[in-house]
Chains A and B, each alone.
Chain A
Amino acid sequence: MPFHILFLVSIVAGFIGALSGMGGGVILIPVLTLFGMDIKYAIAVSIVSVIATSSGSASAYVRDRITSLKVGMFLEMFTIVGALAGAAITLVSGRRILFILFGIVLLSSWFALFRQKNEDWRQASHQDIFSRWLELEGSYYDRSVRQRIVYQGARAYLGGPLMFGAGLIAGLLGIGAGALKVLIHDLVMGLPPKVSTTTSNLIIGVTALAGTSVYLAAGMIDPGLAGPVILGVVSGAFMGTRLLVRLTNLAVRRIFLWVLLVLGVEMIFRGIRGG
Chain B
Amino acid sequence: MQVSSHPPEKAQSDHHFDMESLVGHILLAGVLLSVTLLTVGFVWRWARVGNLRFEHSIAGMNFFEFILSTLQQTASQAFRPRLFLNMGMGILMLTPFVRVLASVFYFAFVEHNWKYTLFTGFVLSVLTYSLFLR
Contact = CB atoms under 8 A, between A and B. Distances in A.
Interface of A: 2-4, 48, 51-52, 55-56, 58-60, 62-63, 65, 67, 69-70, 73-74, 76-77, 80-81, 84, 120-123, 133-135, 139-141, 145-151, 202, 205-206, 208-210, 212-214, 216-217, 219, 221-224, 226-228, 230-231, 234
Contacts of B59: 219
24 contacts: A3-B42, A3-B53, A55-B31, A55-B95, A56-B31, A62-B23, A65-B12, A69-B19, A73-B123, A76-B100, A77-B123, A80-B123, A80-B130, A134-B115, A147-B3, A149-B1, A205-B95, A210-B126, A210-B130, A222-B57, A223-B54, A224-B55, A224-B56, A234-B31
B77 interface: no
A150 B27 contact: no
Contacts of A55: 27, 30-31, 92, 95-96, 99
Nearest to B133: A217
A228 B42 contact: yes
Nearest to A122: B1
B127 A48 contact: no
A interface SS class:
helix
Interface in B1-23: 1-8, 11-12, 16-17, 19-21, 23
A226 B66 CA distance: 15
Nearest to B54: A224
B8 A216 contact: no
Contacts of B25: 59, 63
Given A139-B11, A209-B97, A224-B53, A230 B34 contact: yes
A40 B94 CA distance: 23
Given A77-B122, A148-B6, A223 B27 contact: no
A52 B126 contact: no
Given A51-B93, A213-B93, 18 more contacts: A59-B26, A73-B119, A74-B119, A84-B130, A123-B1, A134-B115, A135-B115, A147-B3, A223-B56, A223-B58, A223-B89, A224-B54, A224-B85, A227-B54, A227-B85, A227-B88, A230-B92, A231-B42
A135 B42 CA distance: 46
Contact of B96 (A51, A120, A150, A234): A51
B interface SS class:
helix
B20 A65 contact: yes
Interface residues of B, number: 68
Given A146-B5, A148-B3, A209-B96, A67 B52 contact: no
A224 to B, nearest CB: 3
A219 B57 contact: yes
A114 to B, nearest CB: 27
Contacts of A77: 119, 122-123, 126
A219 B60 contact: yes
A63 B20 contact: yes
B89 A227 contact: yes
A70 B23 CA distance: 12
